[in-house]
Structure 1
Amino acid sequence: MSDDTTHSDLHERVRDEVPSHLDVTDVQFEGPDLVIYTETAQKFAEDSDLLGQLARSLRKRVTIRPVSGTHSSIEEAEQVIHDVVPDEATIRDLEFHPTTGEVLIEAEKPGLVIGQRGSTIREITKNVGWHPEVVRTPPMESSTVENVRNYLTQERAERRDFLADVGQQIHGSPEKDVDWIRVTTLGCCREVGRASFVLHTPNTRVLIDCGDKPGAEGEVPYLHVPEAMPLTEIDAVVLTHAHLDHSALLPLLFKYGYDGPIYTTEPTRDLMGLLQLDYLDVASKEGRTPPYSSEQVRQAIKRTIPVEYGDVTDIAPDIKLTMHNAGHILGSATAHFHVGDGFYNLVFSGDIHHEPTRLFNGAVNNFPRAEAMVLESTYGRQNDYQTDTEKSEARVRQIIRETYDRDGTVVIPAFAVGRSQELMLVLEEAMREDEIPTMPIYLDGMIREATAIHTAYPEYLRDGLRQRILHEDENPFIADQFQQVDGGQPMREEIASGEPSIILSTSGMVTGGPIMSWIELLGPDSENTLLFVGYQAEGTLGRRIESGRTDVTLEGTHLTLHCRIESVSGFSGHADREGLEQYVEEMNPRPERILCVHGDEQATDQLSSALYQKHNIRTHQPKNLETFRFP
């Protein structure tokens, strides 16, 4: 099916593909999806292969919905759903939307609601005509997941109109032939942070990421340049993952008039909202003027179109997007762009971790085609080799035991998303197997809420961990040792003066947040340990302390640190130098050109040189505000 179809052409083409005994009342695009409205939804459901056949022949994602009034009553549908779905699925809520014929089923075990190859869902539709959507009840209560779901339900009608508008734009005909692509660097070149790029074709402009720079207030992406302006005419935004150096300033786009879609994974959408609202809160507490309001955060969430790993998704008349697991944090993605009708393929790595971790499978590096890549280089320097995971975990256990024997407390600055959950798994196992003494593990800041979001999306976790949570009822994140710090400063003071413990606290680079209180309370005492396990960016207080500075100023208070200060590599969500080289070496196919970004000047220079020498790939070490033309 060509993309230059009118509505009547589209209806006729769909009618030609659908068996004659099935009704096609209307056909509409909603974002990248093709929605077929029918008076015979039950009969559509009887053919288990039909939906897949339609998607392949029409080359679109296809959804079948009943025409309003052709489905059963809500009361009958409720009864059928409870009869058809096994009790073990534990249905928590049913939410009916008569105008679209959809029913949202929230259950603790959604796989049992879906059934093998969708058999249970088809059975529901066959009996009552409603189109089921299934979501998971988070094993840990998450206010973020609940708030996002409630907000999207509340805005359902407006969102449907928005998706219809986006669908018209996506599936129109390109005005010009695609004979070039340009990529302009708006940040994160020869530096870590403020990731942002514009991908430009003769017809389309796509913004990839829009983050801040840790420890450098006011250094934002160069959104004012002609390649990005006017922001109102950007066609789409793609977000690789939720960390603030990639997502913090996305709501700013809506402040200045952008009202288009954001494509990202579902967990990234939820984490993005959590981190952006906290970003505003921290700015307010520090007396800074926030760059945008919570209303713009809500706008970003409302205009997010979730994309699953591996799904080929039209995002413009001349661009298809496929997102793949990047192994970095929950929902993190490598973005593969197929431009034109087979013209060129460009991959943005995002932040990647090549090897599997306790939390995630390793980053995907097999693509149908990949002529060029924009590759992160955080640990691209020649000697940026991390300790292997087993040795890193053993070292952490040793430090904890030694601190415990001194009657001290271990404080770990940690990113709320990713490293905290990795450490939680390490610590839970170590205590369960008596490798370290059992003691309280206090979670301060957003860590518990971010962990709850992880448990809401176990399908994005590593295979074995997903199996434990979904099928073995062994959720390590809810072990008794984990306790939320929810009593503010008085509770922190009580913990600091109490028994030995472990504290995981944001922010991970000591740039604000509750970690400042912990350093002030525990830093002056030699029996305690401050343990760094994540990357400390240039210009952050974490980097200065890690580099040996013990005289620090915390929110106007001068302090001398006498605590033990340790750093353990191996827990980073980024591939080290060897991992980056291996990622490229094992790529299939290997790209012809690579832009090394998201690393300091030494890292990008040394990695680009090594890749050129080893693989004869044309490599670049871009500066900010450079434009590259492909092919």
Structure 2
Amino acid sequence: MSFNIDLSYIRSVIFKMMPPAAQLTRLEFEGPEIAVYVKNPQFLLEQGDIVSQIAKLIKKRIVIRTDPSIRKQGKEVIEYIKSVVPAEAGIESIELDEVLGEVVIKARNTQLVEEKANQILVYTGWRPKIIRSPPMRSRVYEEIMSGYLSESDYRLKFLRALGEAIHRDVLLAKNGSNYVRLTFLGAAQEVGRSAVLVETAESKILLDFGLNPGRGLSPNAFPRIDLIGIDPEDIDAVIVTHAHLDHAGLVPYLFKYGFNGAVYMTEATRDLTTLLLKDFLEVTEREGVEPPFSLRDVEKMLLHTVALKYNVVTDIAPDIRLTLYNAGHILGSAIVHLHIGNGFHNIVYTGDLKFGKTRLLDRADYEFPRVDTIIMESTYGATDQPRREEAENELLKIVLDTYNKGGKVLIPTLSVGRAQEVMVILADAMRQGKIPKIPVYIEGMVHEVTAIHTAYPDLLSKDLGKRLRGGENPFDFETFVRLEGREPRTEIVESPQQAIIIASSGMLTGGPAVEYFKLMAPNPNNSMIFVNYQVEGTLGRRIRDGAREIAFVNEKGKVEILRVKMQVYSIEGFSGHSDRHQLLDYLRHVQPKPSRIILVHGEKNAIASLANEVEKRRKFLGIGDATVLTPNLLDSVTLAYNM
């Protein structure tokens, strides 16, 4: 049987296997799913396993929807749900999606609602969509859910058009003519603007489409899709590995110039990316710079986003199946597995990965069904980081030393990932008496990002997930203060009270961290601690590398020299990236072994050093005679062909 199962075969199997009692009325292809509409969902209580049997046979995702004629009225639906779901579930809201026939139930304990899901569907005719209500309210999370409800009609039309595109018959590959080619549009011999074009005889897929934050908005900050003769409208799909600007920052730009396909990512990545992009627009506009895309482009991206869970196989093109795996880098970060053709070629793209457990996340997955080519990040390919415990102890020592000098600590940090980890470390250290209970001021996107973290306990490390599900918020403490607006900054810095300030951005490319830095830099009793990677060209990188005189344009438009007298520290052990040792260890663990290893997302020396280590340790890594490639920008590599 060919990779792309004939549509008439799919229809015939479903109509044949669905029990007559279901009263099937129609089938619809809605994105990667096949929606089966029935008039009698009662069969789910008696023969519910038949759906999974059909899905397994045709290798497609199936969702049961009810015929609109049997759906009960809204008031009755809401009253019934409240009557059958235990009060302990903590239902906060119930909304009806008239277009999709879904009832969106937001609750603190989703498990108690899920136990009643089939019962609700059978009685009301509305399919439950159950959403976790996090302990910290996230404005972005709520806006996304509200947006999907209000644009449900557009969303359904898009999904049906997408379904037709995904499930169409293959053309060239069906006749035995196929190929797989990669073109590196960014992150080749550099960190930033990650973008890899995957081409087959049937499809064009982008793996990430990010910005280089160290190059402003110059052409070299953008993936160079403009130089390869492919328009955004030619792309079938985009897969986003995680919510950092260098991987997701320019996806809306594609929509601005004609892309109209689907964007695949995890739910957490969707929420965090939306927040990140809106903040990017606000910062660029505030600085008087014209952004490369608009808020409307971000909103369109959201409507075209298909959110996936880890380990779920999904059709994204007639000849490509996608599975996302945990990358361990930040919340929702994913390793991409592409199954192309009927076993024709299999690609693993790591995005950014962490092959070591952290406070926030469990380590990256390393077992896949098949692997022919692995595209692996190399950010720290030439560096071994301190152990996590050492990094934590160093952070707490600097905080304590600065406290004893009467100074303040500034921790400029990426809003996603590092900030939350630092918050957990500081909160636990204060609970345990390792450092004094001092104010921790949190500014920028950090609070909103943290709220999103609390919405996905299942994606966090086992310890944090357990604490959240048990009703504790490990990201909060009695001395933590959330700041709104700019007014308190001078007052905080000039106060005699010792304090810790956590603010974005982590590379001092903008945001409140830069303003705090300007205020705190002249005082030698203060400290600044970098806890994340500093990209070449950023202010953070210059200061980390020793610059102690920084030129700024002040509010009057004059150049002002700032002399940095505060103590500057860089703790590499908090990185969400794997160091050299972990990258090699990851290759050693990956199963099955690839025949081709492609190293990207690293500065030239890091990639060269890692490639050299891989070559020297082939036997230890178990990779045999696998080819090791270190492509340059715009290099194309043909992975497989059958012409």
TM-score by length of 1: 0.96
Deviations 1:314-368 (A, max 9, x none): 0000000000000001110000000001111001100000011110110011001
Task: Write the distance in 2 (CA, Å) between the matches of 1:386 and 1:226.
Answer: 38
Match in the other structure for 2:556? none
Task: Write the distance in 1 (CA, Å) between the matches of 2:585 and 2:102.
Answer: 46
Say whether the 8 Å CA contact 1:609–1:619 is kept in structure 2.
no
SS in 1 for 2:395: helix
Give the one of 484, 491, 514 matched to 2:488: 491
Task: Write the distance in 1 (CA, Å) between the matches of 2:370 and 2:301.
Answer: 31
SS in 1 for 2:165: helix
Q: Please state how far the C-alpha of 1:141 moved relative to its aligned partner.
A: 1.1
Task: Write the distance in 2 (CA, Å) between the matches of 1:385 and 1:9.
Answer: 54
Deviations 1:291-318 (A, max 9, x none): 1111101111111000110000000000
Say whether the 8 Å CA contact 2:22–2:42 is kept in structure 1.
no
Match in the other structure for 1:308? 309
Match in the other structure for 1:578? 581
Query: In the alignment, is residue 226 of structure 1 matched against residue 232 of structure 2?
Result: no
Task: Write the distance in 2 (CA, Å) between the matches of 1:122 and 1:312.
Answer: 23
SS in 1 for 2:228: coil
Say whether the 8 Å CA contact 2:427–2:476 is kept in structure 1.
no
Match in the other structure for 2:195? 196
Q: Please state how far the C-alpha of 1:9 moved relative to its aligned partner.
A: 5.3
Match in the other structure for 1:528? 526
Task: Write the distance in 2 (CA, Å) between the matches of 1:129 and 1:44.
Answer: 12
Match in the other structure for 2:399? 400
2:489 aligned partner, one-letter code: R
Query: In the alignment, is residue 431 of structure 1 matched against residue 430 of structure 2?
Result: yes
Match in the other structure for 1:297? 298
Task: For 1:28-47, list aligned pairs within 5 A.
Answer: 28-47=28-47
SS in 1 for 2:69: coil
Task: For 1:47-58, list aligned pairs within 5 A.
Answer: 47-58=47-58
Q: Please state how far the C-alpha of 1:400 moved relative to its aligned partner.
A: 0.5
Q: Please state how far the C-alpha of 1:449 moved relative to its aligned partner.
A: 0.7
Query: In the alignment, is residue 629 of structure 1 matched against residue 632 of structure 2?
Result: no
Task: Write the distance in 1 (CA, Å) between the matches of 2:9 and 2:575.
Answer: 52
Match in the other structure for 2:148? 152
Match in the other structure for 2:80? 80
Instruction: Give unpaired runs (5+ residues) of structure 1.
Output: none
Deviations 1:78-128 (A, max 9, x none): 22211221111111111113443321111111121112xxxx211222322
Task: Write the distance in 1 (CA, Å) between the matches of 2:482 and 2:314.
Answer: 39
Task: Write the distance in 2 (CA, Å) between the matches of 1:98 and 1:286.
Answer: 42
Task: Write the distance in 2 (CA, Å) between the matches of 1:305 and 1:448.
Answer: 26
Task: For 1:561-576, list aligned pairs within 5 A.
Answer: 561-576=564-579
Match in the other structure for 2:368? 367
Cα gap change, 1:100 to 1:298, in 2 (>3 Å): closer
Say whether the 8 Å CA contact 2:385–2:572 is kept in structure 1.
yes
Cα gap change, 1:109 to 1:602, in 2 (>3 Å): same
Task: For 1:443-482, list aligned pairs within 5 A.
Answer: 443-470=442-469, 472-482=470-480
Task: Write the distance in 1 (CA, Å) between the matches of 2:98 and 2:299.
Answer: 25
Q: Please state how far the C-alpha of 1:474 moved relative to its aligned partner.
A: 1.1
Q: Please state how far the C-alpha of 1:58 moved relative to its aligned partner.
A: 2.2
2:72 aligned partner, one-letter code: S
Q: Could you tell which deviates more after superposition, 613-622 or 39-48?
A: 39-48
Cα gap change, 1:584 to 1:172, in 2 (>3 Å): same
Match in the other structure for 1:348? 349
Task: Write the distance in 2 (CA, Å) between the matches of 1:441 and 1:389.
Answer: 22
Task: For 1:140-219, list aligned pairs within 5 A.
Answer: 140-177=136-173, 179-217=178-216, 218=218, 219=220
Say whether the 8 Å CA contact 1:67–1:100 is kept in structure 2.
no
Say whether the 8 Å CA contact 1:409–1:500 is kept in structure 2.
yes
1:211 aligned partner, one-letter code: G
Query: In the alignment, is residue 95 of structure 1 matched against residue 115 of structure 2?
Result: no
SS in 2 for 1:283: helix
Cα gap change, 1:515 to 1:99, in 2 (>3 Å): closer
1:608 aligned partner, one-letter code: A
Query: In the alignment, is residue 59 of structure 1 matched against residue 49 of structure 2?
Result: no
Task: Write the distance in 2 (CA, Å) between the matches of 1:127 and 1:43.
Answer: 12
Task: Write the distance in 1 (CA, Å) between the matches of 2:232 and 2:122.
Answer: 46
Task: Write the distance in 2 (CA, Å) between the matches of 1:305 and 1:64.
Answer: 18
Say whether the 8 Å CA contact 1:189–1:597 is kept in structure 2.
yes
Task: For 1:538-577, list aligned pairs within 5 A.
Answer: 538-555=536-553, 556-577=559-580
Say whether the 8 Å CA contact 1:516–1:554 is kept in structure 2.
no
Say whether the 8 Å CA contact 1:414–1:507 is kept in structure 2.
yes
SS in 1 for 2:24: coil
1:549 aligned partner, one-letter code: A
Say whether the 8 Å CA contact 2:241–2:335 is kept in structure 1.
yes
1:562 aligned partner, one-letter code: K
Q: Could you tell which deviates more after superposition, 269-278 or 571-580?
A: 269-278
Cα gap change, 1:442 to 1:172, in 2 (>3 Å): same
Query: In the alignment, is residue 70 of structure 1 matched against residue 70 of structure 2?
Result: yes
Deviations 1:402-442 (A, max 9, x none): 10011110001100000000101100000000000101111
Task: Write the distance in 1 (CA, Å) between the matches of 2:224 and 2:629.
Answer: 20
Say whether the 8 Å CA contact 1:45–1:125 is kept in structure 2.
no
1:101 aligned partner, one-letter code: G
Say whether the 8 Å CA contact 2:13–2:54 is kept in structure 1.
no
Say whether the 8 Å CA contact 2:72–2:125 is kept in structure 1.
yes
Query: In the alignment, is residue 322 of structure 1 matched against residue 323 of structure 2?
Result: yes
Match in the other structure for 1:441? 440
Task: Write the distance in 2 (CA, Å) between the matches of 1:214 and 1:297.
Answer: 19
Instruction: Give unpaired runs (5+ residues) of structure 2.
Output: 554-558, 619-624
Task: Write the distance in 2 (CA, Å) between the matches of 1:538 and 1:97.
Answer: 47
Aligned pair count?
A: 621
SS in 1 for 2:21: coil
SS in 1 for 2:505: coil
Task: Write the distance in 1 (CA, Å) between the matches of 2:303 and 2:361.
Answer: 28
Say whether the 8 Å CA contact 1:10–1:27 is kept in structure 2.
no
1:560 aligned partner, one-letter code: R
Q: Could you tell which deviates more after superposition, 590-599 or 607-616?
A: 607-616
Q: Please state how far the C-alpha of 1:19 moved relative to its aligned partner.
A: 2.1
Task: Write the distance in 2 (CA, Å) between the matches of 1:557 and 1:143.
Answer: 38
Task: Write the distance in 2 (CA, Å) between the matches of 1:449 and 1:68.
Answer: 38
Say whether the 8 Å CA contact 2:439–2:479 is kept in structure 1.
yes
Say whether the 8 Å CA contact 1:485–1:492 is kept in structure 2.
no
Give the one of 102, 126, 129 matched to 1:133: 129
Query: In the alignment, is residue 254 of structure 1 matched against residue 263 of structure 2?
Result: no
Q: Please state how far the C-alpha of 1:536 moved relative to its aligned partner.
A: 0.8
SS in 1 for 2:214: coil
Q: Please state how far the C-alpha of 1:452 moved relative to its aligned partner.
A: 0.7
2:126 aligned partner, one-letter code: W
Task: Write the distance in 2 (CA, Å) between the matches of 1:154 and 1:527.
Answer: 53
1:165 aligned partner, one-letter code: A
Deviations 1:545-565 (A, max 9, x none): 111111112344310011111
Task: Write the distance in 1 (CA, Å) between the matches of 2:157 and 2:24.
Answer: 21
Q: Please state how far the C-alpha of 1:267 moved relative to its aligned partner.
A: 0.9
Match in the other structure for 1:618? 627
Cα gap change, 1:601 to 1:406, in 2 (>3 Å): same
Q: Please state how far the C-alpha of 1:214 moved relative to its aligned partner.
A: 1.9
Match in the other structure for 2:285? 284
Q: Please state how far the C-alpha of 1:617 moved relative to its aligned partner.
A: 2.5
Say whether the 8 Å CA contact 1:612–1:618 is kept in structure 2.
no
Deviations 1:361-381 (A, max 9, x none): 100110010010110000001
Task: Write the distance in 2 (CA, Å) between the matches of 1:283 and 1:101.
Answer: 40
Give the one of 492, 500, 503 matched to 1:505: 503
Deviations 1:475-532 (A, max 9, x none): 11232222112131x2001111121110111110111111111111111001100111
Q: Please state how far the C-alpha of 1:43 moved relative to its aligned partner.
A: 2.1
Task: Write the distance in 1 (CA, Å) between the matches of 2:461 and 2:564.
Answer: 38
Task: Write the distance in 2 (CA, Å) between the matches of 1:123 and 1:168.
Answer: 31
